[in-house]
């Protein structure tokens, strides 16, 4: 990908360079020249950059960078899901390599999932309400130990969740395209067996990428297949779950709760029925946020940059056919 | 403790017998005669019972049982802590064996501790407030992974907490009278080194029995020794922590939060400043409650009853000197 002799220009977001000065260049000081890219997509000083580390700047900024620098051959995305970037990139005529940060946000997201299952089991929202009312009052609480967790679409995040759930003595089942078991999920099903898994679960976590195959995957039949005391959690993308069906599932008691870090639409309008649907906890697409995230993404990008300089295959390459 | 030939009368709370009919008698059907004891302490049909399984009935009921049945030689308590029972028993002139349920409520309590640490790290109370206001708004959240948990007074509960905390990639340190490390707490300190441990911790869990040595153990010097961003959790007894010092610690920012399943006084009066002290979460002494608790306590009691019938040493015998 590089002839090994010339300097390679790498576009790095200004805030990354500010927080970790020189870290990207340190991958190969003799071969890398870092140029910072501003939030508006301008990159003064860039001549013919080949690599773009895409931070959290806007679509407009992304289009500008790509338009002004057709020399870019490889773009790494801070986000795990790239479903919204793919059409943009093909619009721009970009046909270079794309890598994503799938699995890199797994740790905080897995912690969020454990938090939400425990909050539901121990009725924390109700306990906090008693506290607000200055009432010394308990609630019938459950244990997670012995309960069954089903993970729809096991990848890096699913495995991170499974390891922690098993540490809390839960049983874990999963679905995954290959159907191959992982270290913490000995019982792995292929996605066509989702309906076998759902009625067995006390908690179901949606962790699949959003693709044309998974859009609307969880609808009325899936929600009705769950136990009435079960809870669904979504840390994937809002559109994997059909919102109307979910609202009915909660209102009519098909299931007991929904913990949603992502919703459809997003942000959720203030008059949306999900906000106060029975058993719903809605957080604002922040389960992956962590003070450690940028460090991890930059670390991963630097490793990949090392591979790229050596002409070796990159990790986390997005397959536009598969859509993730 | 029994001559092996006569039937032994065992007093069992009515609700236990109702939920697990015949389970206690099944320990030795030829040698045990179960008599149920009512909530008021009456046990019609009892002649000279030797064993009492004490459920959650009142002190008055306990005094009545012991007064009416001086033949009782061994009492097993549903509770883990027996600090309030000991003076009552000596008042009644009871000098038989006492066993407690220490460690038996460890599973739900350990889950409560994990929940509270995660709720603090991810700012769940604030996120739920945004939801109530129908606001799509995140919060700066932290990860538990990499953080340090200190457990004051490691026993069955401390070990159950430590196992789960390590499953979430936390570091765990503890204090324990013997100073001996356990499987999940390789770094164990003797109680005199508490002040070495406190400044290293992001979370400190108080898990020691309430005794004359531990009453007021956590006061101003201990709270000031903690980091300003640290959180204290109490699942032991309210009186192990000095309430006035704790209120000041929260109000003046010596520490960042307190998750309290127990308080002093208890129940907490509605005008008490702890209810809305900054960073306080107060639950109503229910961390140990679980649908599985009665099953576990009765199972433990039955094992002990088997040992007793064979004249073997009982487990969880309370040492009145040590006070637990």
This model of the complex carries an ipTM of 0.89
Beta carbons of A134 and B275 less than 8 Å apart: yes
What is the spatial distance between Cα B125 and Cα B284, in angstroms, rounded to a whole number?
17
- Beta-carbon contacts of A20 under 8 Å, excluding residues fewer than 6 positions away, are A294, A295, A298
Tally of CA atoms within 13 A in the half-sphere of B231 that contains its CB: 24
- If you ran DSSP here, which 8-state letter would residue B274 be given? G
CB contact under 8 A, B119 and A115: yes
Longest dimension (CA), chain A: 72
CB-CB under 8 Å, A267 with B144: no
Q: What does the pLDDT read at residue A5?
A: 58
pLDDT confidence of residue B5? 58
pLDDT in tens, chain B (324 residues): 445 457 999 999 999 999 999 999 999 999 999 999 999 999 999 999 999 999 878 889 999 999 999 999 999 998 887 887 888 888 888 989 999 998 889 999 999 999 999 999 999 999 999 999 999 999 999 999 999 999 999 999 999 999 999 999 999 999 999 999 999 999 999 999 999 999 999 999 999 999 999 999 999 999 999 999 999 999 999 999 999 999 999 999 999 999 999 999 999 999 999 999 999 999 999 999 899 999 999 999 999 999 999 999 999 999 888 878
Shortest CA distance from B271: residue in chain A: A134
Whether the Cβ atoms of residue A64 and residue A72 lie closer than 8 Å to each other: no
Of the candidates B131, B146, B282, which has its C-beta nearest A275's C-beta? B131
Residue in B255, B260, B264 with CA at minimum distance from that of residue B215: B264
Nearest to B118 among A114, A271, A284 (CB): A114
By the 8 A CB rule, do A150 and A203 touch? yes
Q: Which residue of A has its CA nearest to B144?
A: A111
CB contact under 8 A, B143 and A290: yes
Instruction: Give B223's DSSP letter.
Output: H
Measured in angstroms, the CA of A297 and the nearest CA of chain B are apart by: 16
Q: What is the dihedral of CA A175, A176, A181, A187, to 10 degrees?
A: 10
- How many angstroms separate the CA atoms of B248 and A318, rounded? 53
Strands laid side by side in the B148-152 sheet: B187-189, B171-175, B148-152, B203-206, B231-234, B257-260, B280-282
B115 contacts A284? CB cut-off 8 A: no
Distance from CA of B108 to the nearest CA of A (A): 6
CA distance linking residue A191 with residue A196, whole number of Å: 10
Q: Determine the 3-state secondary structure of B239 from DSSP.
A: helix
B292 vs B160: CA distance, rounded Å: 16
B240, B218 Cβ separation under 8 angstroms: yes
Cβ atoms B149, B171 nearer than 8 A: yes
How far B73 CA lies from chain A's nearest CA (Å)?
34
> What is d(CA B193, CA A198) in angstroms, rounded to the nearest whole number?
50
- Looking at residue B1, its pLDDT comes to 47
User: ∠ CA(B290), CA(A199), CA(A179), 5° rounding?
Assistant: 115
**Which two three-digit tokens encode residue B269?**
């009066």
B8-102+291-309 with B106-282: one CATH topology?
yes
CA distance, residue A295 to nearest chain B CA (Å): 13
A237 is catalytic: yes
Question: B265 preceded by cis ω (within 30°)?
Answer: yes
* CA distance to partner chain A, nearest, from residue B105 (Å): 11
Q: Considering only alpha carbons, which residue of chain A is nearest residue B106?
A: A143
Instruction: Give the largest CA-CA distance in chain B.
Output: 72
Q: Name the residue among B166, B267, B289 with its Cβ closest to that of A136.
A: B267
Q: Chain A closest CA to B279's CA: distance in Å?
A: 12
In eight-state DSSP terms, residue A193 is: G
Name chain A contacts of B271, Cβ cutoff 8 Å. 134
Assigned token pair, A214: 């998974």
Question: Collapsing DSSP states into helix, strand and coil, what is residue B254?
Answer: coil
Q: Which of B113, B129, B168, B288 to mutate to test the interface with A (most CBs of A within 10 A)?
A: B168
Distance in angstroms (rounded) separating the CA atoms of residues B295 and B104: 10
- Strands A257-260 and A187-189 turn out to be unpaired
Which of the four CATH numbers 1.10.357.10, 3.40.50.720, 3.40.50.2300, 1.10.1840.10 does domain B8-102+291-309 have? 3.40.50.720
Cβ of B118 within 8 Å of Cβ of A111? The answer is yes
* Bridge partner list, B257: B231
- Optimal mutation site among A109, A116, A128, A163, interface B, most CBs of chain B within 10 A: A128
| Residue B237 annotated in active site | yes
Please answer yes or no on whether A141 and B115 come within 8 Å at the CB atom.
no
Kindly determine whether residue B131 and residue A281, on different chains, have CB atoms separated by under 8 Å: yes
Name which of A104, A149, A128 is nearest B123 in CA terms.
A128
Q: Which residues of B touch A271 (CB under 8 A)?
A: 134
Smallest Cα distance from A161 to chain B, Å:
10
Tokens of A261: 């870090």
Q: Which of A111, A128, A138 sits opposite B143 (nearest CB)?
A: A111
Strands (E), chain B: 8-13, 32-37, 51-54, 74-77, 97-99, 148-152, 171-175, 187-189, 203-206, 231-234, 257-260, 280-282
For the domain made up of B106-282, give the CATH fold.
Rossmann fold (3.40.50)
Residues of chain A with pLDDT below 50 are: 1-2, 4
Interface residue of A112, A124, A129, A163 to substitute, partner B, most B CBs within 10 Å: A124
**Among B266, B272, B296, B323, the one annotated catalytic:** B266
Per annotation, catalytic residue among A142, A266, A296, A323: A266
Query: Are the Cβ atoms of A108 and B268 closer than 8 angstroms?
Result: no
CB contact under 8 A, B163 and A167: yes
Report chain A residues whose CB lies below 8 A from the CB of B114.
114, 118, 168
- Domain boundaries along the sequence of chain B: 8-102+291-309, 106-282
CB contact under 8 A, A268 and B136: yes
Q: Report how far residue B260's alpha carbon sits from residue A157's, in angstroms, rounded to the nearest whole number.
A: 32
Domain A8-104+291-309 in CATH 3.40.50.720: yes
Return the number of CB contacts < 8 Å for A and B: 137
DSSP B264: S
**What's the whole-model pTM score?**
0.90
Which of B111, B144, B281 lies closest to A144 in CB terms?
B111
Of B136, B268, B286, the CB nearest to A138: B286
Q: Is the CB of A111 less than 8 angstroms away from the CB of B270?
A: no
B316/B101 Cα distance (integer angstroms)? 7
Per-residue CA distances from B270 to B233, B267, B276, B280 (Å): 21, 9, 10, 15
* B296 carries an active-site annotation: no
Residue B25 to residues A244, B18, B305, Cα–Cα distance (Å): 54, 13, 10
Cβ atoms of B33 and B7 closer than 8 Å: yes
């Amino acid at each position: 990908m590089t002839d090994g002799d010339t300097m390679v220009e790498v576009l790095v977001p200004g805030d990354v360079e500010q927080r970790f000065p020189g870290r990207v260049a340190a991958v190969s000081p003799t071969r890398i020249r870092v140029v910072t890219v501003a939030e508006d997509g301008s990159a003064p000083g860039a001549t013919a950059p080949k690599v773009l580390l895409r931070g959290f700047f806007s679509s407009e900024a992304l289009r500008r960078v790509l338009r002004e620098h057709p020399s870019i051959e490889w773009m790494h995305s801070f986000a795990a899901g790239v479903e919204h970037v793919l059409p943009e990139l093909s619009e721009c005529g970009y046909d270079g390599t794309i890598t994503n940060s799938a699995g890199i946000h797994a740790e905080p997201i897995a912690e969020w999932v454990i938090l939400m299952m425990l909050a539901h089991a121990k009725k924390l929202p109700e306990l906090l309400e008693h506290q607000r009312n200055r009432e010394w009052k308990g609630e019938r609480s459950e244990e997670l130990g012995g309960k069954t967790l089903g993970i729809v679409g096991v990848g890096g995040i699913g495995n991170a969740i499974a390891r922690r759930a098993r540490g809390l003595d839960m049983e874990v089942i999963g679905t995954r395209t290959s159907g191959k078991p992982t270290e913490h999920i000995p019982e792995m099903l292929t996605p066509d067996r989702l309906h076998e898994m759902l009625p067995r679960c006390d908690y179901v976590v949606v962790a699949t990428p959003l693709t044309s195959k998974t859009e609307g995957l969880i609808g009325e039949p899936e929600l009705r297949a769950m136990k009435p005391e079960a809870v669904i959690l979504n840390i994937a993308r809002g559109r994997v779950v059909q919102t109307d069906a979910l609202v009915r599932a909660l209102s009519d008691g098909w299931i007991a709760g929904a913990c949603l870090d992502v919703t459809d639409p997003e942000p959720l309008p203030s008059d949306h029925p999900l906000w106060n649907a029975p058993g719903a906890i809605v957080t604002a697409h922040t389960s992956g946020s962590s003070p450690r995230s940028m460090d991890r993404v930059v670390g991963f990008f630097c490793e990949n940059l090392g591979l790229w300089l050596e002409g070796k295959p990159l990790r986390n390459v997005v397959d536009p056919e598969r859509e993730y």
